Chains A and B, each alone.
Chain A
């Protein structure tokens, strides 16, 4: 069974700050998903990565397969980045296991 731990659980920062959210998992995986859930529940898939680093706009995701760890970074954070960020990893071939999420609040 794959255990997924995210940290921090809650994060409040000022607009413009550099944000890092961490995700650790216990069993080796083929790919890791980062999701963003906005107030109201809608979920958007941000990244899916299996090695190295991916960048999309101000968002950067990295993964270290050997250490079973991934980070999501947000540069020049903005209040519209306020959301819950969730990482998810496969358990076996047929199921995703989700972290509890990190609630990010960016104050203007």
Chain B
């Protein structure tokens, strides 16, 4: 069974551009979480989607947005990129909406903003 897949693996953009990151959850998982891990910092919660709806978002500006498609895959969009957006972006999926469900992580997208 395929795990959580993320694309692209690496993404290089310049300041002001837009970035789109993609995530496919494990088959049957309806919840998708996005996290940011900046260099030297811990994981920060970005967004949570379940059944196509945004359930919660972390303390990030509105230029971080996303969506979840009917097949439960998800996109994270970052507009007006800033240098400090350079980070590893991780996607995770789980079977249900409870935070007591085990999380399965993708390998991440390394975003570099120049």
Nearest chain-A residue to B50 (Cβ)? A94
User: Chain B residues with Cβ under 8 A from A41's Cβ?
Assistant: 37, 88, 90, 107-108, 110
Q: Which of A45, A95, A100 contacts B58 (CB 8 A)?
A: A95
Q: Mark B103-114, 1 if CB is under 8 A from A, else 0.
A: 111011010000
Count residues on chain B whose CB falls below 8 Å from chain A CBs: 25
Q: Which of B37, B56, B104, B105 contacts A95 (CB 8 A)?
A: B56
**Assembly CA distance A55 to B56 (angstroms):** 32
Question: Is residue A76 contacting chain B, with contact meaning CB distance below 8 A?
Answer: no
Question: Is residue B63 contacting chain A, with contact meaning CB distance below 8 A?
Answer: no
Which residues 17-69 of B have a CB within 8 angstroms of A? 33, 37, 41-45, 48, 55-56, 58
Known contacts A41-B108, A42-B107, A43-B90: does B42 contact A50 (CB below 8 Å)? no
Residues A86 and B90 in contact, CB atoms below 8 Å apart: no
**Assembly CA distance A33 to B105 (angstroms):** 13
**What is the minimal beta-carbon distance from B64 to any residue of chain A, in angstroms?**
15
**What is the minimal beta-carbon distance from A81 to any residue of chain B, in angstroms?**
18
**Assembly CA distance A21 to B41 (angstroms):** 18
Which residues 62-112 of B have a CB within 8 angstroms of A? 88, 90, 92, 98-105, 107-108, 110
**Assembly CA distance A44 to B102 (angstroms):** 10
User: Chain B residues with Cβ under 8 A from A86's Cβ?
Assistant: 42-43
User: Chain A residues with Cβ under 8 A from B98's Cβ?
Assistant: 30, 93
Residues A30 and B99 in contact, CB atoms below 8 Å apart: yes
Residues of chain A having any CB pair with chain B under 8 Å: 30-31, 33, 35, 40-45, 48, 50, 86, 88, 90, 93-101
